[in-house]
Amino acid sequence: MVENGEAPTADTFCKVWRDLNAAYYGPDMTLDPEIEMEWARIPHFYSPFYVFQYATGYSAATALSRLILEKSEGAVERYMEFLERGKSAPAIEVLRDAGVDMTLPEPVDRTLDLFEATLVEFEKLLS
């Protein structure tokens, strides 16, 4: 809507949210009028960088776990140091010292690759 020059309003969010619920749950689900306001309790829609934090956090966690699972030399020790450091420095620095450079695309790319592999496996199991 914004890209088309339209200003989203609470009314348009209510309509979009109701339509999404109707499509998701199908005709067998009764949607009461209150469902239209459900979007307002979900900060993902209006808090800056809220979803970004999930995606980058998940990517960092995936990268850390891959280093350990792939038996990268020193990965366990670096991870333990990462935990010990806590918030003693900016997260980007603590992660880099643990072997995950979030300024590069690799952690996100590897997470997307893992997601794709998991989805392919799931689709095979369904068929």
Same domain, yes or no: 67 and 119: yes
Q: What is the pLDDT of residues 108-118, one digit of tens each?
A: 999 999 999 99
* pLDDT attached to residue 63: 96
Mean pLDDT, residues 16-43? 93
Same domain, yes or no: 56 and 39: no
- Residues spanned by the domain of 100: 50-126
DSSP the chain: -GGGTPPP-HHHHHHHHHHHHHHHH-TTS---GGGGGGGGG-GGGTSTTHHHHHHHHHHHHHHHHHHHHTT-TTHHHHHHHHHHHTTSS-HHHHHHHTT--TTSSHHHHHHHHHHHHHHHHHHHHH-
Same domain, yes or no: 58 and 102: yes
| Count of domains for the chain | 2
Read off the pLDDT band of 97 (50, 70, 90): very high
Same domain, yes or no: 118 and 84: yes
Q: What is the pLDDT of residues 118-127, one digit of tens each?
A: 999 999 999 9
Q: What is the pLDDT of residues 72-87, one digit of tens each?
A: 999 999 999 999 999 9
Does 46 have pLDDT greater than 80? no
Does 41 have pLDDT greater than 80? yes
